[in-house]
Amino acid sequence: MKFLRRVVLAASMVIVAGACAAGSGGGGGDTPMPPGMEEGVPPRDNMFTRTAALALSQAMQNADPGERQSRYQEALQAALDGIANDPGNPQSFRQAGEAYVGLNDLAGADSMWTTAEDLYPLYSFDLDPLREQQWVNQYNLAVNQIQAGDMEGAIPQLESAHTIYKGRPEAMLNLGSLHAQLGNDDDAVDWYRTALELLRSSEFDAQPADIQATWSENEEIAAFNLAQILANAGRNEEAEVAYRTYLERSPDNVTALSNLAVVLMAMDRNEEAAEIYQGLLARTDLDARDYYVTGIGLYNAENYSMAAQAFGRSYELIPESRDALYNYAQALYLAGELDELYPAAVSLAEMDPHNNNVYRLLAQGLMAQGDTAEAARVLEEEMATLEFEIDGTMLQPFGGGGGVVNGELLNHSLEGGSVDIRVFFYGTDGAEIGVQDISVPVPAAEMREVFRVELDTDQDVVAYRYEVISPEP
């Protein structure tokens, strides 16, 4: 079992709408001066700014790509001449930035616009929408690359988006994710840290409520992905800092606490980890998923007795959870708590009757009850006569709702045909939220056939169970 979620894209890679763009020119003149903002140097017209403004207007109105390019070049030259003639005039820097945008040089545009804003801070009110529009354009190009399966090709587009506008986290988050998936861990760490700086900045308070909710979700994903990359690289001290920094803002987050405990154990700080787990088990506000996550951490820590407690509580809250029940029984066995194992294994055999490991657990429970004859019968008749097994089933929930159950059909003695499986999905409150059927082709004897059953829903999936519809036992 793994204690950390896989690295995921924090922001949905979909086409986003454009920002409202301000027109070219002097700008900023009608914007009132906010308290505390320096007035700076007001823009002023001269022969160079008028020439640049005319060329920019002609470029935007010209449908011919070659002619448009030429007009942008003329505008850029006029703006650069204006800068050389009057280096304190912010308007020439702004015009040079607009020309660079037309020439698809966003690094040049950012440099010029940054200087324009430094000279005349009110320009930021005009230039922010222009920057964001270019961010949108580059981000959408990256979306197209991702959808075409070209992750590496999307990276330059996302980097260009970040170069021109740093007020949205999506490009940073997805750069972290893409670099992580491509194995560029150092780059991924840098981008996640950059994203977290924005998500935790004063900009958060300036966002509307719905955007704040999205930023909070993305902060969790970025913090966890950052910590996972660091922990996997053996940089446990940095991973600890990543989790503790997140917990300063969300001190009750169960996954962060559990993952922090695992990192502490990797550094042989087992007593600190045990305190965290004991604190989690003492809480009364956890749901089935929280207890399950805690159980995974304890299981990985080889504290099987406490892991059994956590899995048992998860199972009590959602009695249909196959994985909670299986892990509960497995943890009881490893903890040597065999008296409690028997009733758990009986329930597990009823829920999951096509798994050899289940019958082994049941036999261990029977032997602990002193019924060695029945234990032998279970192993020799029920387990040994299985025509096929459903093995390795595991739920992978999706962020934002839905999930997939992966598993394998191991054939022992079936001859051709298929095995029909029905999977039931359950939400946080234990209510059934969906059912999916799948027909799995029967492989050759002692061979395996992988299957995947997905539920598409906006509700969180936290548990599942399955039934074999045919062939009937």
Token pair of 158 as six digits: 């996302």
397-454 pLDDT per residue, tens? 987 799 999 999 999 999 999 999 999 999 999 999 999 999 999 999 999 999 999 9
Strand-by-strand arrangement of the 388-397 sheet: 388-397, 403-411, 448-455
- Secondary structure of the chain as H, E, C letters: CCCCCCCCCCCCCCCCCCCCCCCCCCCCCCCCCCCCCCCCCCCCCCHHHHHHHHHHHHHHHCCCHHHHHHHHHHHHHHHHHHHHHCCCCHHHHHHHHHHHHHCCCHHHHHHHHHHHHHHCCCHHHHHHHHHHHHHHHHHHHHHHHHHCCCHHHHHHHHHHHHHHCCCCCHHHHHHHHHHHHCCCHHHHHHHHHHHHHHHCCHHHHHCCHHHHHHHHHHHHHHHHHHHHHHHHCCCHHHHHHHHHHHHHHCCCCHHHHHHHHHHHHHCCCHHHHHHHHHHHHHCCCCCHHHHHHHHHHHHHCCCHHHHHHHHHHHHHHCCCCHHHHHHHHHHHHHHCCHHHHHHHHHHHHHHCCCCHHHHHHHHHHHHHCCCHHHHHHHHHHHHCCCCEEEEEEEEEECCCCEEEEEEEEEECCCCCCEEEEEEEEECCCCCEEEEEEEEEECCCCCCEEEEEEEECCCCECCEEEEEEEECCC
Task: Tokens for 332, please give them.
Answer: 């009881």
Please check whether residue 126 is in contact with residue 30, taking contact to mean a CB–CB distance below 8 angstroms: no
Contact partners, residue 250, CB within 8 Å, separation at least 6 = 220, 256
Q: Which residues pair with 439 in a beta bridge?
A: 420
CA angle 154, 144, 65 (to 5 degrees): 95
| Domains of the chain, residue spans | 388-470
Residue 16 banded pLDDT, cuts 50, 70, 90: low
Measured in degrees and rounded to the nearest 5, phi and psi for residue 123 equal: -60, -25
Q: Looking at domain 388-470, what is its CATH homologous superfamily?
A: Immunoglobulins (2.60.40.10)
pLDDT recorded at residue 39: 81
Peptide bond into 471 cis (omega under 30): yes
Does the pTM of the predicted model rise above 0.75?
no
Average pLDDT, the chain: 90
Encode pLDDT of 90-118 as tens digits. 999 999 999 999 999 999 999 999 999 99
CB-based contacts of 470, cutoff 8 Å, min separation 6: 419, 420
418-426 and 388-397 beta bridge pairing: unpaired
Q: What is the pLDDT of residue 394?
A: 93
CA atoms of 257 and 224, how far apart (whole Å): 11
Residue type, 307: A
Confidence of residue 32 (pLDDT cuts 50, 70, 90): low
User: pLDDT tens digits, residue range 233-266?
Assistant: 989 999 999 999 999 988 998 888 988 998 998 8
The model's pLDDT over 156-192, given as tens digits with 9 standing for 90+, comes to 999 999 999 999 999 999 999 999 999 999 999 999 9
pLDDT recorded at residue 38:
77
Specify which residues 464 forms β-bridges with.
Answer: 425
Cβ atoms of 109 and 97 within 8 Å: the answer is yes
Overall average pLDDT of the 264-282 stretch = 90
- Distance spanning both ends of the chain, measured CA to CA: 30
